[in-house]
Amino acid sequence: MGVLMSRVAIVGVGWYGFKPTTIDVSFQDMMFESSARAYANAKIDPRYDVDAFVDCQEDMWEGIAISDEFAPEPIGGALRPTFTVAGDGLEGIAHAYMLIKTGHFNVVSVESHGKPSEIKTLQDIYRFALDPLHVRPLDYVNPLFYAGLDAVAYMKRTGAKREHLAMVAVKNKNNGLSNERASFSTRIDLDYVLSSSYSIYPMTNYEIAPFSDASITFVLANEDYAKKLTENPVWIEGIGYSTETGTGATEWHEWGKMKSFRSAALMAYKMANLNGNPQVDFAEIEDRFSFMELLALEETMLVKEGEAHKMLEKGDLNRDGFLPVNPSGGSLSMGVQLEATGLSRLLEAYLQLTGKAGNHQLKNVRRGLVASWRGVPTYTSMVALLSV
Amino acid sequence: MRSNIFMKDRVAIVGAGITTFMRRALETPRELAWEAAKMALDSAGLTLSDIDCVVIGSAPDTFDGMHLKGEYLGDGSGAINKPMTRVYVGGGTGVFVPESAYWHVASGVCKKVLVVAEEKMSPAHPHPQYVFKYIWDPIIERPLGPNLLWIFAMEMRRYMAKCGAKKEDIALVSVKNKRNALDHPAALTAANITVDDVLKSETLVWPVNLLDVSPVTDGAAALIMTSENVAREITDSPVWVDGIGFTLENQHWYNRELAFPRYLNYAARMAYKMAGIERPWKEIDVAEPYDPFDYKELHHIEGLMLARPCEAWKLVREGYFDRNGELPTSPSGGLLGVGNPIAAAGLMKVAELFWQLRYEAGKRQVKKPVHKAVANAWGDLMQAGTVIVLSN
């Protein structure tokens, strides 16, 4: 009956950080700040009103062997049902969605944070993610080479040129100028990007997202509670996540594609009772590498295969275009917040849909798509479809 | 949390698999995971293409030496072009993975879920205990160089002092579990020992002796969980998940009353409420309390409300928890007997209850008829409680 048919909505959000460094707070302080703001935003008391708490983090990013220990207290979940998802924040949203859909839980909060500024040896942590038998023995390999290989294969397949990749960076870096969370936005033009040297071929430093610190907390609720708690709930129409293959089996990855985006998108669209291409007003799409935005647009079926770079060239993906993509500036402007990256994109989509995006607010947006990837060297992606 | 009386689809366990628990396995973590997953798939008569979603459980990344361990285990656990997620509550992960699979199915998002837990502790150098140097609060505790055994020794000491239990009484749990494990084909440290053996074994941190502790182990376990309709097609004897419960205490273990596991009690109440169990000490027929240390089984029996606080050790003496006793606990042999590959050990306990409830446990089958069973696991800094209630 009613309970299972209930929709799931975002009813509150809080964030802290989006800065290259946050020396004045510990990661627990950041979690507390974002969570306290989210609960205030949803006007609830976490000790009474939240039925389950989800935290998303990975041990080695935190430098703690069992980082889950430090999850409950800052987010209000001590002695309450709390758990950690070792994955991106959007996976946490998927867990919250499922928890609410069981009918046992009314209100669930999801927190994720990243504090890369405190990681002294980021390159070495990345090395630990590489396959210990086949890849790690290649000494001092830059793990981002995976993205370079995918970029070249993508360009070859679709006919996108290096200029198109640079255009993504120019669009997103400039979009970020009107976003308060976009620490890495800058006014650059195409020539500037093209004239800088390659960082990972075929991408320059401007086409690879830097890191920033942030903590983000979302409060989700079922339909009854959502209507009680807020006047403008944002509904999660569908959410999907998928893994193409493990990090130790790169030979099964289809280079130049990202099949996990397609599987995740199909899962989300099916949940939303949509067939194929959904009509969305804007999208917050993975862009920690410039080519990824074009690739993810095609894989999520928002645009036809091989068309993304043509639309970009025509200006269709600009903020005033036919399909605004990354009006916030994306990860290229906001940085990558480790496991909170997915939530940072969800945050932008939520603010757009509730009309609170400030200077980069789009007009008349009713439905948006969020797509995020867990980054090199994984093949896991998440897609969320939101509407008001 | 509230009970959803409109629940459309019950959640069932229809297959289980386990690898041999061993020290210094030659298999990679991915291979261990697949070995268990394959056995579970075979036991349910399914293939990987039937599976909708994968839930992975594994404790610290540092044991396997892999950052993003869930992603690394992905293909080994069957997550090839499938929704895959890894949940993580420290040592409590083993029982938590099927709990997470429960809401994958109960929400209607997935129909057939492959649940995999894997742990390979041996490669940690020089000893897996070193991984636990990095679990402490980096500012307050880590500079003191604490060791995990120390705080458990404190907890055991507190239990002994508060409840009047002696080392001889607690050692009986180790004797029972290691004996039970003699019938488990996957067991690592099964043995016929006496209380004297336990007391005379090497003292690690007083009052914890070597035979009071479960061993360092490599291994994996897996389950297949499906919705009711699918389960009815697969098997005549599905095992139902009646209730799930999970709680995290704060990380300040030094501020707590260590004699009673409150984190577990809260989780147990949640699970019992969902399962409609009001008197667990009467209604539960068989239990798999988490027993990385022998005192911990007693602790958890009390937390699960299967015995009154401070009385479990008296009941052990009477043989109440033996395999042919009133309320058999750890009929598998538990972590003390079968081994403790952290996440896989918790899932092994759920797998054991699955076999017990289907009367498939062979020589390990408990004597009394079984209808309802409970398993729990414990983790983090003595703060995570995860409980699952099953029935047939």
Distance CA B295, CA A266 (A): 50
Structure tokens at B366: 């408990």
Q: How many CB atoms lie within 10 A of CB B113?
A: 27
Closest CA to A384 of A8, A28, A65: A8
Which pLDDT tens digit goes with each residue over A85-138? 999 999 999 999 999 999 999 999 999 999 999 999 988 899 999 988 888 888
Question: Is the Cβ of B89 closer than 8 Å to some Cβ of chain A?
Answer: yes
User: CB–CB of B80 and A70 under 8 A?
Assistant: no
Q: For residue B28, how many C-alpha atoms fall within 13 Å in the half-sphere facing its CB? A: 17
- B296 pLDDT higher than 60: yes
Q: Is residue A90 part of a domain?
A: yes
The pLDDT > 90 percentage for chain A reads 89
A193 Cα to chain B: minimum distance (Å): 32
- In angstroms, the separation between the Cα of residue B379 and the nearest Cα of chain A is 9
In tens, the pLDDT along B340-359 reads 999 999 999 999 999 999 99
Name every chain B residue with its beta carbon within 8 A of the beta carbon of A378.
Answer: 68, 71
User: What was the pLDDT predicted at B6?
Assistant: 60
Q: Which two tokens stand for residue A346?
A: 């969800």
Interchain pair B70, A73: CB under 8 A: no
**Within a domain: A81:** yes
β-partners of residue B241 are B390
Listed in order, strand segments (DSSP E) in chain B are 11-18, 53-57, 84-88, 112-120, 203-205, 208-209, 218-227, 239-248, 286-288, 372-379, 384-391
Inter-chain residue contact B65 with A128, CB threshold 8 Å: yes
Asked if residue B288 lies in contact with residue B349, where contact means CB atoms within 8 angstroms, the answer is yes
| A95 interfaces chain B, CB cutoff of 8 Å | yes
Contact pairs from chain A to chain B, CB under 8 Å: 230
Give the per-residue pLDDT at B147.
Answer: 87
pLDDT value at A1 more than 50: no
Give CA–CA dist B190/B194, Å, rounded.
Answer: 13
Report CB contact under 8 Å: B81, A2.
no
- Mean pLDDT taken over chain B: 94
E-assigned strand segments in B249-293? 286-288
Are A129 and B132 within 8 A, CB to CB? no
- In angstroms, the first-to-last Cα distance of chain A is 24
Tokens for A362, please give them: 């789009």
Is there a contact between A85 and B85 if contact means CB atoms under 8 Å apart?
yes
Residue A91 at interface with chain B, using a CB cutoff of 8 Å = yes
- Single out the residue of A81, A104, A222 nearest to residue B8, CA to CA: A104
A72 shares contact with chain B (CB less than 8 Å)? yes
pLDDT number for residue A6: 85
Estimate to the nearest angstrom the gap between the alpha carbon of B248 and the chain centroid: 16
pLDDT at position A379 is 95
A158 Cβ neighbours under 8 A, 6+ residues apart:
A294, A298, A305, A306, A308, A309
- Asked if the model's pLDDT at residue A140 lies above 80, the reply is no
Q: Is the dihedral of CA A155, A158, A162, A168 positive or negative?
A: negative
d(CA B76, CA B33) in angstroms, rounded, equals 6
**Distance between CA atoms of A241 and B333, rounded to whole angstroms?**
38
Over residues A202-208, mean pLDDT: 95
Contacts of B100 in chain A (CB under 8 A): 83, 95
Would you say residue A4 has pLDDT above 70? Answer: no
**Using CB atoms, which residue from B6, B82, B89 is nearest to A68?**
B89
Q: Is A103 on the interface with B (CB under 8 A)?
A: yes
For residue B270, which residues of chain A lie inside 8 Å, CB to CB? Answer: 81
Residues 241-270 of chain B whose Cβ lies under 8 A from any Cβ of chain A: 245-251, 262-263, 266-267, 270
Q: Are B366 and B322 in contact (CB under 8 A)?
A: no
In a domain, A107, yes or no: yes
- Give me B271's structure tokens: 């699970």
Which chain B positions have a beta carbon within 8 Å of A99's beta carbon?
A: 103, 107
* Structural domain contains residue A82: yes
CA distance readout (Å), A122 to A85, A211, B61: 21, 10, 16
Q: Find the mean pLDDT for residues A47-70.
A: 94
Note the pLDDT of residue A136: 86
Cβ B247–A97 below 8 Å, yes or no? Answer: no
- pLDDT at A249 (0 to 100): 85
Structure tokens at A287: 């862009």
Query: Whose structure tokens read 């293959």?
Result: A245
The pLDDT value given to residue B14: 97
Distance CA B27, CA B218 (A): 9
Query: Is residue B166 helix, strand or coil?
Result: coil
CB-CB under 8 Å, B109 with A101: yes
CB contact under 8 A, B135 and A64: yes
Instruction: Give the residue ranges of DSSP H helices in chain A.
Output: 2-5, 27-42, 46-49, 59-62, 89-101, 122-129, 145-158, 162-175, 190-195, 223-229, 259-271, 290-299, 308-314, 330-334, 341-353
In a domain, A313, yes or no: no
Of A260, A329, A270, A339, nearest to A300 by C-alpha is A260
Q: A59: distance to nearest CA of chain B, Å? A: 7
Please state, for a pLDDT cut of 90, what percent of chain B lies above it.
Answer: 85
Residue B178 clears pLDDT 70, i.e. is over it: yes
- Containing B302, the helix (H) or strand (E) segment is helix B294-303
Nearest-Cα distance to chain A for B224, in Å, is 18
A82–chain B Cβ distance below 8 A for any pair: yes
- Residue A44 resides in a domain: yes
**Contact state of B108 with A103 under an 8 Å Cβ cutoff:** no
CA distance B134 to chain A (A): 5
- Tell me if A386 sits within 8 A of A232, measured CB to CB: no
State the Cα–Cα distance between residues A31 and A74, nearest whole angstrom. Answer: 6
Q: Residue B3: closest CA among chain A residues belongs to which residue?
A: A104
Residue B8 has pLDDT above 70, yes or no: no
Cα four-point dihedral sign B60, B380, A336, A88: positive
- Contact of B277 with B372, CB cutoff 8 Å: yes
**Residues A63 and A35 sit within 8 Å (Cβ to Cβ):** no
pLDDT at A2: 43
For tokens 């092994």, what's the residue? B348
Cα(B185)–Cα(B363) distance, integer angstroms: 10
pLDDT of residue B1: 63
B 123-162 → A contacts, CB under 8 A: 131-135, 137-139
Residue B184 and residue A361: Cα distance in Å, rounded?
63
What count of other Cβ atoms lies within 10 Å of the Cβ of residue A213? 26
What pLDDT, in 10s, does the model give residues A252-303? 899 999 999 999 999 999 999 987 778 999 999 999 999 999 999 999 999 9
CA torsion angle A323 A244 A214 B251 (round to 10)? 150
Whether a cis peptide bond, with omega within 30° of 0, leads into A377 is yes
- Parallel/antiparallel/unpaired status of strands B11-18 and B53-57: unpaired
Q: CA distances (Å), A362 to each of A169, A321, A354, B17, B339, in order?
A: 20, 11, 11, 52, 58
- pLDDT score at B48: 95
The SS3 assignment for B137 reads: coil
Using a CB-CB cut-off of 8 Å, the residues of chain A touching B85 are 85, 87, 91, 94-95, 241
Q: How many domains does chain A have?
A: 1
Q: Which domains does chain B have, with CATH numbers?
A: 11-125+215-391 (3.40.47.10)
Residue matched to tokens 């006793």? B325
* pLDDT classification of A141: cutoffs 50, 70, 90: confident
CA dihedral in degrees (B221, B226, B232, B233; nearest 10)? -90
* Confidence label for A3 from pLDDT (cuts 50, 70 and 90): very low
Residue by residue, DSSP assigns B25-68 as -SS-HHHHHHHHHHHHHHHHT--GGG--EEEEE-S-HHHHT-TT
Share above pLDDT 70 across residues of chain A, in percent, rounded to a whole number: 99
CB B246 within 8 A of CB A81: yes
Evaluate whether residue A49 is within a structural domain. Answer: yes
3-state secondary structure of A39: helix
- Segment B166-191 mean pLDDT: 96
How confident is the model over B122-146, as a mean pLDDT? Answer: 88
Beta carbons within 8 Å of A320's beta carbon, 6+ residues apart: none
Q: Establish if A140 belongs to a structural domain.
A: no
Q: pLDDT tens digits for A355-378?
A: 999 999 999 999 999 999 999 899
Would you say B132 and B205 are in contact if contact means Cβ atoms under 8 Å apart?
no
The pLDDT assigned to B3 comes to 65
A248 part of contact set with chain B, CB < 8 Å:
yes
Segment (H or E) for A222:
strand A213-222
Query: Given an 8 Å threshold on Cβ–Cβ distance, is A79 in contact with B135?
Result: no
Looking at every residue in chain A, the average pLDDT score rounds to 94
Minimum mean pLDDT range among A149-158, A259-268, B139-148, B195-204: B139-148
Residue B243's contacts (CB-CB under 8 Å, 6 or more residues apart) are B270, B271, B272, B273, B274, B275, B276, B277, B387, B388, B389
Residue A60 lies in domain: 2-120+211-229
CATH code of the domain covering residue A28: 3.40.47.10
**In contact, A216 and A226? CB cutoff 8 Å:** no
Residue at B141: amino acid letter: E
Q: By C-alpha distance, which of B391, B389, B382 is closest to B135?
A: B382
ipTM over 0.90: yes
Q: How confident is the model at residue B2 (pLDDT cuts 50, 70, 90)?
A: low
CA distances (Å), origin A10, targets A218, A220, A356, B69:
7, 4, 14, 30
